[in-house]
Amino acid sequence: MSAPAIPGFAFVEHLGSGGFADVFLYEQQWPRQRVAVKVVRPDVPLTDREKYLFTAEANAMARLADHPYIVSVITAGVTAEGGRPFLVMRYCPPPDLGVRVRANPMAPVDAVSTGIKLASAIETAHRSGILHRDIKPSNVLVTTYHEPALTDFGIAGHMADVEGDNDVRISYPWSPPELLDGRSNGSVASDVYSLGATIWHLLVGRSPFSIPSGDNSTRALSARILHATPPATQRPDVPPSLDRLLQQCLAKRPEHRPASALELARALQRIESAAGWARTSVAVEGDRPDASVSPSDAPGSSGSSGSSGTSGSSGSFASPGAAGPAEDATAMKPVTVISASGPRRIAAQDPAPALQDGEEERAGVPGLVWAGIGVAVLALLIGFLVLGGNDREEDPGVVVPTESQTPADVIPDVLVEAVTLTGSRTPRGVLFEWRPPVSVEAGDSFSWHRDDTDEYGSTSRRRLLVRTDEPVCLDVRMTRGSDNSPSASQCVS
């Protein structure tokens, strides 16, 4: 495969191909670094539509270039031969996240942390008025520092313009129902759905509605996405709250999903906290003010030294004539070259006056006296330790155990497994039934929670009828005294 000649860049190898572009690895000559270059394929007609999509991708990624979890664009241009548009981007070594989890799905703690980082990137794009519309594992690269980086904004759209699009490119396994049936050309809710499907994929190694060794054609997948109940991951190490959140993201109706990518990130943070995992920060501009910068220090403020710069200068740099604190100044220091034959020292600026011969002799006498005293004291101390050290009594504050001590047995938890919960739609509503994990005793009860209405309740029975025609999710846990079982969740559409 031929790579285009781009001044200032040397071709290294072909990395991959997408729907309408090839991606190559190049070596940038100055400053020297490896970069990924995305070039429109020669066999793709450069219609106004293709040029618009490529320009939109370049502009979208440039606006989001400083986000830590979005692949940054370095520059863009058009090849001299053939006039093919290209993007120069930060290089993230393969494989992408989709390939990485295919045979080795992520641990829940890592999937949740990755989900928060990607939600931060998507929320940042949404706040800039950009919809991604193609979030999926293969569009998440991994940096050399093992951080996720969202890429491929090739079919991204501006929120105000997407409904006017005549055609929308979609990736079926991660696309929401409203994109499949044409009700929408993309929205915040559709990006939230695709992110939820991506996190589900990271945990299982496949998309939510694909069936191992089953019919995963576009038609079969579309039918399941449109009509099947959002599945659970079926992983025993996945917290029920995470399964429940991902099923909410995959809800058929957009209004039943988290209202924003930020809301999804906050929900994932709550799961981290409940599980005792390390907290992952949300990286959204303006979400967390920098307490270390006072308003008077901010660029462009009346009290800022940078306010004296020209109106067109960037707020990231102080104006050339701005005065800063004296201790921040960079000063020139003369270098003293010292012989390597002895220990290195810095020559004093004002050497002390040399002692006269008589003064030098007198100054040496007290030093000899003190050295002799020190040797005598040291000898006495060593003799005391050698001769009298063995007669010391054991420290009365130290208790030496004569036998091992085993703590008493910890009272074991009884309710360590969740109830077995099922749900089915009946003419009267949705009937949920459950089987307790242990034999029921007097005083046992079952606590339940409806996700759609946020209603809570408790019952001693083993079934609950929810009178509704809408999709509903129910959480149930068994309670015995102060002991609670893990929560079980079931959704019925």
Give the mean pLDDT of 306-329. Answer: 48
Between 370 and 214, whose confidence is greater?
214
- Averaged confidence pLDDT in the chain: 79
Total count of residues recorded for the chain? 493
Q: How many CB atoms lie within 10 A of CB 63?
A: 17
**In this predicted structure, which of 251-255, 324-328, 467-471 has the lowest mean pLDDT?**
324-328
Q: How many CB atoms lie within 10 A of CB 440?
A: 13
The question of whether 133 is a catalytic residue gets the answer yes
What is the predicted pLDDT for the residue at 305? Answer: 40
What is the DSSP secondary-structure string of 92-136?
Answer: -PSP-HHHHHHSSPPPHHHHHHHHHHHHHHHHHHHHTTEE-----
Q: Which CATH number fits domain 9-90: 3.40.50.9100, 3.40.50.150, 3.30.200.20, 3.40.50.300?
A: 3.30.200.20
Q: Is the pLDDT of residue 264 over 90?
A: yes
What is the predicted pLDDT for the residue at 349? Answer: 47
> pLDDT tens-digit profile of 27-60?
999 999 999 999 988 888 877 777 777 787 778 7
* Cα distances (Å, whole numbers) of residue 478 to 144, 188, 440, 488: 46, 37, 10, 10
To the question of domain 97-275 being in CATH 3.90.650.10, the answer is: no
Candidates 225, 280, 287, 249; CA nearest to 111 is 280
CATH number of 420-492: 2.60.40.10
9-17 and 73-78 as β-strands: parallel, antiparallel, unpaired?
unpaired
Q: Give percent of the chain with pLDDT exceeding 70.
A: 71
Q: Is the pLDDT of residue 257 over 50?
A: yes
**In this predicted structure, which of 7-16, 141-150, 154-163, 221-230 has the lowest mean pLDDT?**
154-163
Give the mean pLDDT of 448-476. Answer: 84
What is the predicted pLDDT for the residue at 50? Answer: 73
Q: Where do the DSSP E strands lie in 374-487? A: 420-426, 429-435, 445-450, 455-459, 463-466, 472-480, 483-484
> pLDDT tens-digit profile of 403-438?
444 444 434 557 778 889 999 999 999 999 999 999
Between 351 and 243, whose confidence is greater?
243
Catalytic residue of the set 84, 90, 133, 477 = 133
CB 190 within 8 A of CB 179: yes
CB 10 within 8 A of CB 4: no
Candidates 137, 150, 288; CA nearest to 202 is 137
Residue 375 in tokens: 């040797």
What is the predicted pLDDT for the residue at 156? Answer: 46
What is the predicted pLDDT for the residue at 247? Answer: 97
What is the predicted pLDDT for the residue at 164? Answer: 47
Residue 388 in tokens: 């009298």
CB 139 within 8 A of CB 151: yes
Q: CATH topology of 9-90 equal to that of 420-492? A: no
> pLDDT tens-digit profile of 184-205?
888 999 999 999 999 999 999 9
Where are the domains positioned within the chain? 9-90, 97-275, 420-492
What is the predicted pLDDT for the residue at 142? Answer: 96
CB 456 within 8 A of CB 447: yes
